[in-house]
Structure 1
């Protein structure tokens, strides 16, 4: 559950991640709006072409033009991001549940998977032990070795084990809603902060929001991120965590986001102290959560659109149309 800035994607040790494409019903918020067409006279072909070409500069330019023309009003509507000292109490007051545990990786899915494997193989081993003759020895032995194989795969190739855990995680009823909420938060917050979006995925093992920005890429690889840029990237990084923290008692999808944020912090100049890094994380969660609460209707509608595999342009239309409807209504 992370977003990509065209950097190599690591294999995370905890793929709690909520990879999509399931056949059971998802309990999304009751917002049924569909991606509406642009306002009369608004031309989106340039934006669609730029996204298709994966040209972040062209995407930004197209959205800037649409904003100047009065349509993409939410694009870059939060340009001023300024870090300040933030306490856990502020996060709790804002509505973040269990704020003190946000940075602690969840082992829910990992533990459930391993418990199921060990429990199932153990039960079958005992059951097949009643078979007559040599079968009563060899079959339980083979079944029992499955647990050892799983552990060996996890040690040698963690990615394969995490893929299995990711697939197994779909047994949890909140699985799909969590991934939709998480990735929609990355998408929405990036859009509000003016970071161009080129794509997204909710598929198993491929969940991400693609935010390739050529200018930021150069700063990241050169290790020259300044305070202004790290603040923006931190807010986008923590958006998914904030979205979950506002709804659920335990955040499952924070490991990859925290890993991504740490990579950005490591490329910041001057380097941040441990206390500064901790405060940056808290502040980013608070800022992202505030934006999500202030744009709740857009977030929920975007969740629904992304679940239906809407295109990036359709998702942007959803954000803009819901914001326009909400402003008119209130």
Structure 2
């Protein structure tokens, strides 16, 4: 992993003539440089240790649910020399009306990005239904079910389906399907990880602190104890929530929300050429813009700008996103994920 302490080795075997004629100056300069390098390395190590320690404190505050304290710590680290360089530091494109042709000139096909369709889970679901039907037919033939037994079985299946649809908004079936998808499809598993890494990275670079993440419906259920909670990334968003409750959302906050909402589908698009997951993200953004009274033209302008802005940021920081996804797949804490971003971000092109 990049970003660790780099140790440089120097050749200390000098030619005899060099040692003979330049002994004093060479040793003096070498020692001076060595002392400088040692002091520099120690200072760098001390600074890194301090940042890691404070990021661990951020994790503690988040685990306690004290979002304000966690955000305050991050902002303090942001202002310190050698602190968090990337938090809220993303360069963004000017906000104006962008046409679809301009998006295409930047290598972006909006329809492949903004109309996600989960073909992988769809195929798994169809195969499960076919397998269930074949199993039912086999059981029917093996046990010689009569009309009464078939009625009871059909009513039982219908009851379970109705209970899940009405009582849990389809949460149980989604949990089962997502769990099977993660276990039998490596592509689906990887896509979910990359999708959430996109949300995490864009939020952080735009100055919104991620609060936590889950990579599967099962993990979300184990943490929250609710079937209605799906996998995803959550954020310290009390500022946004307060603005919503007051009936006003600033342009700056709306821009951040728009880019974060589209970061998952944008990541999938960059990696696979199209997006499968993230339909709920797109619908959420559409719903927000509609609730704010945006006309169709104004909403389209907001979405196109957010798509272009998010794609360009992700392209600049592909390495950081890749390593962040690896850290998230290993279940690293928010603080550890932030450390990965900071160590691998291209600060000359944030």
Q: TM-score, normalised by structure 1?
A: 0.75
Query: 2:294 aligns to what SS in structure 1?
Result: coil
Change (3 A) 1:196 1:107: closer
Q: CA deviation at 1:274?
A: 1.1
Q: Return 280-289 or 259-268, whichever deviates more.
A: 259-268
Q: CA deviation at 1:313?
A: 0.8
Q: CA deviation at 1:213?
A: 2.5
- Unaligned runs of 5+ residues in structure 1 are 1-31
- Unaligned runs of 5+ residues in structure 2 are 6-44, 221-230
The structure 2 residue matched to 1:168, chosen from 164, 167, 180, is: 180
Q: CA deviation at 1:237?
A: 0.9
Q: Which has the higher helix share?
A: 2
Deviation per CA, 1:164-207: give whole Å up to 9, x if none.
Answer: 22223223331121111111111111111111222222232532
User: 1:154-165 alignment to 2 at 5 Å?
Assistant: 155-156=165-166, 157-165=169-177
Deviation per CA, 1:227-272: give whole Å up to 9, x if none.
Answer: 222111101111111000111133111212113313432453xx21
- 1:95, 1:246 within 8 Å by CA — same for their partners in 2? no
Matched, 1:65 2:93: no
Give the corresponding residue for 1:245.
Answer: 269
Give the corresponding residue for 1:104.
Answer: 115
Change (3 A) 1:130 1:312: closer
Give the corresponding residue for 1:8.
Answer: none
Query: 1:309 aligns to what SS in structure 2?
Result: coil
CA distance in 2, matches of 1:215, 1:76: 15
Matched, 1:202 2:215: yes
Query: 1:72 aligns to what SS in structure 2?
Result: coil
- 2:2, 2:343 within 8 Å by CA — same for their partners in 1? no
Deviation per CA, 1:50-109: give whole Å up to 9, x if none.
Answer: 33333333333222222222221001112767532223334344344x532333241525
Matched, 1:78 2:78: no
- 1:76, 1:192 within 8 Å by CA — same for their partners in 2? yes
Give the corresponding residue for 2:280.
Answer: 256
Query: 1:319 aligns to what SS in structure 2?
Result: helix
Change (3 A) 1:301 1:150: same
CA distance in 2, matches of 1:79, 1:181: 22
- 1:110, 1:165 within 8 Å by CA — same for their partners in 2? yes
CA distance in 1, matches of 2:161, 2:120: 15
Query: 1:198 aligns to what SS in structure 2?
Result: strand
Q: TM-score, normalised by structure 2?
A: 0.72
Q: CA RMSD for the aligned pairs?
A: 3.1
Deviation per CA, 1:14-49: give whole Å up to 9, x if none.
Answer: xxxxxxxxxxxxxxxxxx458898625445154344
CA distance in 2, matches of 1:305, 1:286: 26
CA distance in 2, matches of 1:237, 1:220: 16
Query: 1:174 aligns to what SS in structure 2?
Result: helix
Matched, 1:123 2:134: yes
CA distance in 2, matches of 1:80, 1:251: 23
